[in-house]
Structure 1
Amino acid sequence: MTASHDESDLTELVNVGRSVAGHFESVGVTRIAQLVGRDPVELYERMSAAAGQRLDPCLLDTVMSAVDQAGGEPGRPWWHYTPERKRLQAGRRSD
């Protein structure tokens, strides 16, 4: 039996294991449906704040992947998002 998005476990997403699911849970995200339309950078910043330290930037790549997949995009490896993350971070530094 396949669960609906509302009942889905985050670890059903590509790149999301128990550790990453724990980071999502630390900011109140416990279901795939809660990721639809979310800002990955904002989620990553909240995860870092919840952890009390800046988390590995590759986690942002994973969050970007999870948000895209929750929105209907195909699951892609987290490193597919690294160039986009680096562009985003460079843009924020120049603001």
Structure 2
Amino acid sequence: MGPVQQRLRQALTSQFQPAALEISDESHLHAGHMGARPEGETHFRVRIVADAFRGKTRLERHRMVNSAVADELAGPVHALAIHADAP
């Protein structure tokens, strides 16, 4: 797990105390595409389950996740696929 992925994990864990959290680095699938860097850690997929998402729409859940990792999205992360659900 690289440093960007670790920071994503830390931010999401701190913000949501998730029941489940999976973060996959999919940068290798985007080599040569816009936003890809040779060192990777630019494209991620997040699967998170947390009580904080209960009663929220999919758009609201995505906005919550994006807000929690805004620093990474403003820097090294080019793309973030989000699957956020309540338990």
Task: Tell me the TM-score normalized by structure 1.
Answer: 0.28
Q: With a CA cutoff of 8 Å and minimum separation of 6, indicate the structure with the bigger relative contact order.
A: 2
- Higher strand share goes to which structure? 2
- Higher helix share goes to which structure? 1
